[in-house]
Chain A
Amino acid sequence: MLANLERLYDQHAQPLFAFLLNFTRDESDTCDLLQEIFTKLARQPALLQAARDERAFLLRLAHNAAIDLMRRRGARTRNHEQFGAEQFSIFAAASDPDAAAFRHELSAALGELPPDQRAVLHLKLWENLTFEQIAAALEIPPNTAASRYRYGLDKMRERLRPLYEEIK
């Protein structure tokens, strides 16, 4: 079981980390949630046996765990607090000032989105999942996933338009 756990970590921990970090906007919460997920997998190895797609199943576990956490703590206050943190970014640091500014603004703009739209945007843009896969991971209808993506992307475009036009 330990070898399988290590394999799962090596294959899926990075995308789960990025998704959870974007969703919770908090590195400590992300660490706690990752630990919770892998502890659950260690305790119940049979969980993954019925899963057709490991990645989609793990993303669903991560999403549910993150929602539970936000419900416990109060999502809105938490998001606003995190949005206020100037140094926080879900993106890698950039040496180029324009790229760094864009990533910083992009991270902030993502933080302003409702968590549901942010989750869909993340899975579509940075996990390259189809709407069907996103729907399965988030347990929503595919049409809902598509509409959330459209709304979220429109908001991002409006929010980042000045900066995007400037550095395009």
Chain B
Amino acid sequence: MNDNFEQRLRRQPLRTIPPEWRADILHAARAADHPAPTHRPQPIPAFSFQFSFRWGALAAVWLVIFALNYAARDTAPVVTAKSAPPSPQMLLALRQQQKLLAELIDPPAPSDADKPKPISPRPRSELRLQFLTT
């Protein structure tokens, strides 16, 4: 019975694929292979690309500034050598200069002629009387 039964099953024709599926399935596969460009707004990338020219111009300005700054800077190498210890003659001359400078800056002691008159402690009424009599 097995052979007959199997043969009987084998003889049953299966359903055929609907013909209209072919176009749909191949079209879908083709679309997946070459996805159409989408024009959906993409917030951040679109924003950045929209202003790309301005960002580029700003970068160029900064480059010019850096170039000018680089060209104008002092090209002489800065030497920071240790200075030699001063000689005793130099120290002596320096002290003399300092002394002279101090003398020039400090005012001399005032003479007696320049001293202010001493104020005699008198009552204010006497002063008024002296003024009137004068």
Q: Which residues from chain A sit less than 8 Å from chain B, CB to CB?
A: 1-2, 5-6, 9, 13-14, 17-18, 21-22, 31, 34-35, 38-39, 41-43, 89-92, 102-103, 106, 125-126, 153, 156-157, 160, 164, 168
Is B21 touching A39 in the complex (CB atoms < 8 A)?
A: no
List 8 tightest A-B contacts by C-beta distance, closest first: A42-B29, A17-B17, A42-B33, A38-B29, A18-B14, A39-B32, A92-B13, A39-B29
| Chain B nearest Cβ from A52, distance in angstroms | 23
Q: In the bound complex, do residue B15 and residue A35 qualify as a contact, i.e. CB atoms below 8 Å apart?
A: no
Whether the pair A156, B13 counts as a contact (CB closer than 8 A) is no
> Chain B: residues with CB nearer than 8 A to chain A?
1-2, 4-6, 8-10, 12-17, 21-22, 24-26, 28-30, 32-33
Give CA–CA (A89, B12) in the complex, Å.
Answer: 12
Is the CB–CB distance between A92 and B21 below 8 Å? no
Given contacts A43-B33, A168-B4, 5 further A-B contacts (CB under 8 A): A6-B26, A9-B25, A17-B16, A92-B13, A125-B9
Q: Chain B's interface: helix, strand, loop or mixed, by majority? A: helix
Please give the distance in Å from B8's CB to the nearest CB on chain A: 7
Whether B9 and A92, one on each chain, are in contact in the complex, defined by CB atoms closer than 8 angstroms, is no
Which chain A positions have C-beta within 8 A of B10?
125-126
Query: How near does chain B come to A116, taking the closest CB pair, in angstroms?
Result: 18
